[in-house]
Amino acid sequence: MLQPPETSLGLISIGQTVSLREQAYDRIKRSILAMDLYDGSAQIRLNEHQIAQDLGISRTPVREALTLLEREGFVSTVPRRGLFVTRKTKREVIEMIRVWAALEGSAAHAAATHATDADLRDLSKVFQDFDPSALPVHLTAYEEANLDFHQMIIRLGGCGLMVEMTTNLFIHMRAVRSAFLHRSGRYEVSMREHAAIITALQERDADQAAVLVRDHALGLIAHVEAHWAWPEE
């Protein structure tokens, strides 16, 4: 069986201020979170030896870090093939969207009640420099702002466990949201929905904020159902 090419993560050598395992874990995880897993390319295969070489450390802490990441669902061991960055099936992605929608909706409800006025002003500034008519030109910047916006809502919910849970979902949600925004006309709709969410939060309407955030996330399901083009692995 042909093996997919192993992928360099572009890692930088690390020092020894904290344990090598923790540093390796942090570097590898951040590299994985920055990936677009569903861009149509082959499944991303990792090489323990190459990672250790890139980081300038032995393989033992790298192996320990990868074990932790596998436990958290970021990487998966495929028998007789090797270690891969985890990609989800269509059904799993839809399930994750539903979970994310519930968590972010709950965070929005809490944020409407507990977030400070300064926090909400910061949230409202995320999109202030974007002109809906010019978004296709600034798509990459808007995608990053979009991701920041949703992560900020999670953080403003004030629940550390919720932040931790959504971190494990984020890598997949990031790719789905990015693909969704490339659909014709989605920029303007996205901007309107974000503006409505911000208004509900600023008006301290917790129920409305929760509904708007939840529906905004669940809208991704229709996109996945209609446009799923990634392999069912």
- Model pLDDT for residues 28-70, shown as the tens digit of each residue: 998 987 777 776 666 789 999 999 999 999 999 999 999 999 9
Task: Decide if 181 contacts 146 (C-beta within 8 A).
Answer: yes
Of 63, 85, 107, the residue at which a domain comes to its end is 85
Residues of the chain with pLDDT under 70: 1-8, 10, 12-18, 39-42, 132-137, 182-185, 229-233
Task: Decide if 233 contacts 43 (C-beta within 8 A).
Answer: yes
Please count the structural domains in the chain: 2
Handedness of CA 46, 50, 55, 59 (dihedral sign): positive
Residues 61 and 103 both lie in one domain: no
Residues 151 and 221 both lie in one domain: yes
CA 32/CA 196 separation, integer angstroms: 32
How many C-beta neighbours within 10 Å does residue 3 have? 10
Q: What is the predicted pLDDT for the residue at 69? A: 94
Residue 10 lies in a domain: no
Residues 115 and 167 both lie in one domain: yes
Residue 110 lies in a domain: yes
Helix (H, G, I), strand (E, B) or coil at 202: helix
Domain that holds residue 183: 90-227
Integer angstrom CA distances of residue 65 from 9, 18, 72, 167:
14, 13, 11, 17
Of 54, 85, 116, the residue at which a domain comes to its end is 85
CA 116/CA 119 separation, integer angstroms: 5
Q: What is the predicted pLDDT for the residue at 35? A: 79
**Residues in CB range of 191: below 8 A, 6 or more apart:** 127, 130, 132, 135
Burial bucket for residue 140 (CB in 10 Å: 0-12, 13-18, 19+): exposed
Q: What is the predicted pLDDT for the residue at 181? A: 72
